[in-house]
Amino acid sequence: MSLTTTPIEQIPTVVAGARAAVAQGRTTPLAWRVDTLRRLRALLVAHEDALLDALAADFAKPRPEAWLSELGFTLSDIDHTLAHVALWAAPEKVATPLTFKPGRSEIHHEPLGVVCVIAPWNYPVQLLLVPMVAAIAAGNAVVAKPSELAPATSDALAALITALGDPAVALVQGGVAETTALLTERFDHILYTGNGRVARVVMRAAADHLTPVTLELGGKSPAIVTASANIDVAARRIAWGKFLNCGQTCIAPDYVLVERSVHDQLVTAIGNQITEFYGPDPQASADYARIVNDVHFQRLEKLLHAGTVAVGGQTDPDSRYIAPTVVTGVTRADPVMQEEIFGPILPVIAVDSVDEALGVVNADDKPLALYVFTEDDAEAERVLAGATSGGACVNGTLMHISNPNLPFGGVGESGMGAYHGKFGFDTFTHHRSVMTRTTKLDPPMTYPPYTAKKERMIRRGLTLPDPRDLWARVRSARHRR
């Protein structure tokens, strides 16, 4: 399908329309935020069939999988946001040191202005709309850019945003040229989801305007399976997390490090789960997606030539099909271990200990996700303490991003900043410090001329713990116990 593009000369007008809405104060009131989110939700439901058809056209996403990971995820996020946005937006009272009383201190949550959201192709609905929901909830205008690699979904999203009929929520379509033109505009925050190479381009463009950025990237997210793990459950959850969306998931298990004593058992169990999920011929399964385009297919096909194919390995270039595949006997020098796979190829590597597994993980950049399968709580804590990642899940894969009370974000090469739920609201919010003092009393303690007595009072007032701070320490101590 051909790509629809926004004329480059129109992009400044689109951004100017969003900025005018901010300048007029239209996006700040809570009523606008709630109404816009409700209308966006209604449109998402109304456009469900068109969006699911588009996802199927772009890379054969099965409808139940697409609804769960794209539309259902987004609807749930909107509902969570609508339930909490009034509380998030309200001024937050904080303690005032004794020296500066009488007075009160608050944190006011102000919109940043105009937010740009640049989404990837692998989950083109969720990864465009969920950041937009957070930005709207915070009172910002939004200019969104869907991926050109999912052209049918880009058109479906454009129809949805057009139906919203609000210049404060706009969309620009196109490829590299249109994205480049968009990035020359001034924004108040940019959220980009994709790869590190383009993220550096985004950061350089943002630097021209001192625009803050949130970068959701990727990397090689490992799964560590210890000898104590429930192997059948581990295999089922690893296979689901890896082969969902044909492996094209930024937090999919990229490779598995398994203790040698259970290596063969795990490989067999993953193979059994693949058959259970997709039948004896996954190519005939209606529940298995396809690679997004020929370029990605050819890149992935080359990665199949390392190690030994233990499960799968079949390919079909005409339909961009690559079977759910498990490879064994690979080394860290093999190409499949040198880059993020982002496809349905799962290297399973035997290690002699958890410490060896941690050494492999820590030799690479910090991943976006880390998974550990074990029935030993102390072992799980050892893995979590021994390696850093953007997020983590014990005895599971992917599910940590589904809880809106947890932040989703990377660290180091896997990204910076976070969103989801209140963390998204905070990302697109300026936390403004406001102190209000009464004029009925004006203690002279902080005014010159200074005396020994004033100095003693100042020192005591600044160092005396606030009662709320003391209570927080008590709760922290209880939690540690």
Residues catalogued as catalytic: 216, 250
- State the distance between the two ends of the chain, measured CA to CA, in whole angstroms: 60
Residue type, 165: G
CB proximity list for 477: less than 8 A, separation 6 or greater: none
Q: How many residues does the chain have?
A: 481
Tokens of 207: 């630097």
Cβ atoms 116, 90 nearer than 8 A: no
Residue type, 273: Q
Kindly tell me the sign of the dihedral angle through the C-alpha atoms of 227, 231, 236, 237: negative
Residue 91: CB atoms within 10 Å: 12
User: Across the strands, what pairs with 213?
Assistant: 190
Using alpha carbons, list the distances in angstroms from residue 128 to 295, 384, 398: 23, 30, 18
Tokens of 355: 């410490």
Strands 321-322 and 369-373, how do they pair? Answer: unpaired
Residue type, 141: A
Tokens 């940590």, located at residue: 400
